[in-house]
Structure 1
Amino acid sequence: MTTFREAVEARDAAAIEALLADDVVFTSPVAFKPYPGKALTAAILRGVLRVFGEDFRYVREIADAGGRDHALIFEVTVDGKTVNGCDFLHYDDEGRIDSLTVMVRPLSAAQALAEAMGAQFPRIQEEALAAAQIQP
């Protein structure tokens, strides 16, 4: 099975989505409320892949001994700002990601990311609605 890191580094949206639990909750670094559900989370992550340029890279990975919690530290440039961030993943009993929390710094980079992702949101909403309609 492909890991989340491998899927993101390969920019493989289908592999990323396959790793998500149906009840996954995505907590954004720039939104107040978490986003629930696989369709919306997958659409958001596709938006992230569009926003993050080719210079995206994971620089460190930390995992607990049980393998259910991971922290993936990354760097990327968004709108000329260097973003330092971390993806915090939790895996459920079936090995699917049921919680994904992203944190970024510094504030100016978080603001650039918020603006870039805001521009993606109409497409994200369309993709999530379309996916929700075809799911059983």
Structure 2
Amino acid sequence: MTALPGLKPAAQQTMERWHQIFLTRDVAGLAELASDRIVFRSPAFFKPYPGKEAFTFVIATVSEIFEDFRYERQFATADGSSAVLEFAARIGDRSLKGIDMIRFDEAGKIAEFEVMIRPANALALLAEKMSERAGPYLTRMSAHSG
């Protein structure tokens, strides 16, 4: 994806690195992009997951589940501190669409990351696959978040 007009420079640098991570499928640098106090909100759970460990674990696991993942559109908020990335992917024979809503802190680190996915049957399949691969870890993280 190209630069995102209107995004603050530090956030823009984070977005460029984010896209590079997904182009190369090398999630090793995810933690560097996140604030120490990041909050991740999953489409499958009501309670948020706090912290870099949960964020990197969930994103890395989802990146293994999604097939043909691609970002299609991106938008920045008027204040330059948030972005919305529209994506498409597949899990087996189910296609899905979603958005990543990202808020950056003053240093350009990801402070909040929220995902929404449709249709419901694709979201249910994602939740099932996540449970298979990461169930105990996600349950423990959810319990610690609130």
TM-score, normalised with respect to structure 2? 0.78
Deviation at residue 9 of structure 1 after TM alignment: 2.7
Taking the aligned partners of 2:39 and 2:90, their CA distance within structure 1 comes to 25
* Partner SS for 1:77: strand
Deviation at residue 16 of structure 1 after TM alignment: 2.2
Aligned length, in residue pairs: 125
Instruction: Report the equivalent of 1:134.
Output: none
Alpha-carbon contact 1:63-1:69 (below 8 Å) kept:
yes
**Distance 1:12-1:66 versus aligned 2 partners, 3 A rule:** farther
Taking the aligned partners of 1:67 and 1:10, their CA distance within structure 2 comes to 26
Please say if 1:43 is aligned against 2:43.
no
Which residue identity does 1:81 align to in structure 2? Answer: R
Please say if 1:71 is aligned against 2:75.
no
* Partner SS for 1:31: coil
TM-score, normalised with respect to structure 1? 0.83
Taking the aligned partners of 1:45 and 1:123, their CA distance within structure 2 comes to 16
Taking the aligned partners of 1:86 and 1:105, their CA distance within structure 2 comes to 9
Deviation at residue 107 of structure 1 after TM alignment: 0.6
Map 1:46-61 onto structure 2 (within 5 A): 46-53=60-67, 55-61=68-74
Using the aligned pairs only, state the percent identity: 34
Deviation at residue 122 of structure 1 after TM alignment: 4.9
* Partner SS for 2:107: coil
Instruction: Report the equivalent of 1:19.
Output: 33
**Distance 1:109-1:56 versus aligned 2 partners, 3 A rule:** same
Taking the aligned partners of 1:122 and 1:48, their CA distance within structure 2 comes to 13
Which residue identity does 1:50 align to in structure 2? Answer: E
Map 1:65-104 onto structure 2 (within 5 A): 65-104=78-117
Which residue identity does 1:23 align to in structure 2? Answer: R
Instruction: Mark the runs of 5 or more structure 2 residues left unpaired by the alignment.
Output: 1-12, 142-146
**Distance 1:12-1:67 versus aligned 2 partners, 3 A rule:** farther
Which residue identity does 2:25 align to in structure 1? Answer: R
